[in-house]
Structure 1
């Protein structure tokens, strides 16, 4: 029988054509069942006497083998001057997703009172492609097209707290760090409501100035993050990457509670500025 050999492509020294790169493997996200199965293997299938639960927890956390839930937008969005908009909100943490018309919900298995371990924001966006201050083109300094993210608590504050100011467009009691209530520069005095709401140290991400090509951002909030907002490292990240310096200490993740949601807003300020949101998704991971 004649043996069939695979066809090999031969390249001429003058051939500038390169083979197409292999497609990147699709990211695997374990389900709740996957995590339980791995925990069972670690608990009983490694040594005869079984590994202690504390050791299993350490292994699972080190591997970041956590279940997760994702929310994403299904259409492109353009935010123009002062047209700030909430683009998405994740399902309540550790709650089973149910049909909109259903009043039944079930709390999913989780570990501890603060089970959130990581929040990953994936953004594809750009500004209007022109304008900005002299020398700021392509940089994050002087950018007025940006995103904010907030942790929305499951329990709202009582009515007697209604006088407390909140960042424009957010729910009462929303927080950007682990504190029950966080006051930003835009909230310091009541009359600040009459001033433009600008990017703060709590911002999620700014678009580079006057850049019309789509930029891809992957912002990770991790429970082990520990960069202080007043550090030189935080200042460098804010300047070079456009991420708010107050989002680098991990407190928002460590203090997120069961039932809390993540809300993402797209913003643009001043005449001519726009935020073109091509894609946006948020994935929240929790420990079991």
Structure 2
């Protein structure tokens, strides 16, 4: 039997939504409807059963941690882009911002002082899944080497200590980054780091491809593909991903309270980044 004291303690976590925003329709090719994502309550309950109920003697917490991590039985929250976007040349837009790591969106509006959700270690993030359906202005079919010379792409930006930046008010997400909606068209000098896709990009669209491209990109804390390795260059060429995002640092360096902003970019006249769907799901260890 689950102790009444713990039931009362954990009951506050049962209402935390594992899908923070489901306002946009997920393309069938990107659907994860059959995937089970445990809630924070379910992870806490499973930990208690493993440690105190499953065996005659209690298991050490370190062993329970190892079992939970091996099964990837982690809590998670998801954010989805709210509507279809169309980013034109020399404009950037934030498609979405994730809820600060280990925080509940609703509590960020009302709780003072802020209290994080249960988590393990200073860097509890274990996995991040990006789902994107997009294409550029088109004029051609999907083809080999389509990621070469693309001028529409996606980047990520870590917003440090986002839980302190008043991200939410009156049930609405607030703008906390410069030019989030791409309302200002910018001029990029030849040496500007945002002029073209860099090695740390999330991904680029296929160049001049009119068909929607559905991408699922997973960052994992155990990833270890080094940027200068042959494997990294192959992934960059075949998938359009940044070769400096394959070594796990984007997951392992994320701290409690950090948020991830997903940027869509387009450069030069005639180039358009059409984004039909985007979501980010962040997992953390409890």
Same fold (TM > 0.5): yes
Partners of 1:83 and 1:102 in 2: how far apart?
A: 34
Q: Is the 8 A contact 1:96 1:106 kept in 2?
A: no
Matches within 5 A, 1:104-253: 104=112, 105-130=114-139, 139-154=146-161, 192-193=191-192, 197-253=195-251
1:55-92 per-residue CA deviation (whole Å, 9 max, x = no partner) reads: 11111001110001111112100001011111111111
Partners of 1:100 and 1:106 in 2: how far apart?
A: 9
Mark the CA change 1:103 to 1:51 in structure 2 (over 3 Å): closer, same or farther.
Answer: closer
RMSD of aligned Cα (Å):
2.7
Quote how far apart the aligned CAs of 1:130 are: 2.5
Structure 2, unpaired ranges of 5+ = 1-30, 164-175, 179-187
Which residue matches 2:18?
none
Quote how far apart the aligned CAs of 1:192 are: 2.3
Structure 1, unpaired ranges of 5+ = 1-22, 157-169, 173-186
Q: Which moved more, 1:147-156 or 1:253-262?
A: 147-156
Partners of 2:272 and 2:127 in 1: how far apart?
A: 29
Question: In the alignment, is residue 102 of structure 1 matched against residue 110 of structure 2?
Answer: yes
Quote how far apart the aligned CAs of 1:131 are: 7.4
Pairing partner for 1:31 from 35, 39, 47: 39
Larger-gyration structure (1/2): 1
1:7-35 per-residue CA deviation (whole Å, 9 max, x = no partner) reads: xxxxxxxxxxxxxxxx9852211111000
1:201-255 per-residue CA deviation (whole Å, 9 max, x = no partner) reads: 0000111111111111001111000111011100000000000000000011111
Quote how far apart the aligned CAs of 1:102 are: 3.3
Partners of 2:45 and 2:107 in 1: how far apart?
A: 27
Q: Is the 8 A contact 1:222 1:253 kept in 2?
A: yes
Q: Is the 8 A contact 1:137 1:208 kept in 2?
A: no
Quote how far apart the aligned CAs of 1:191 are: 7.4
Pairing partner for 1:88 from 93, 96, 100: 96
Quote how far apart the aligned CAs of 1:103 are: 5.3
SS for the counterpart of 2:69 is: helix
Which residue matches 2:61?
53
As a proportion of its length, which structure holds more helix? 2
Mark the CA change 1:229 to 1:270 in structure 2 (over 3 Å): closer, same or farther.
Answer: same
Q: What's the TM-score once normalised by structure 1's chain length? A: 0.75
Partners of 2:162 and 2:136 in 1: how far apart?
A: 35
Mark the CA change 1:191 to 1:266 in structure 2 (over 3 Å): closer, same or farther.
Answer: closer
Quote how far apart the aligned CAs of 1:196 are: 6.5
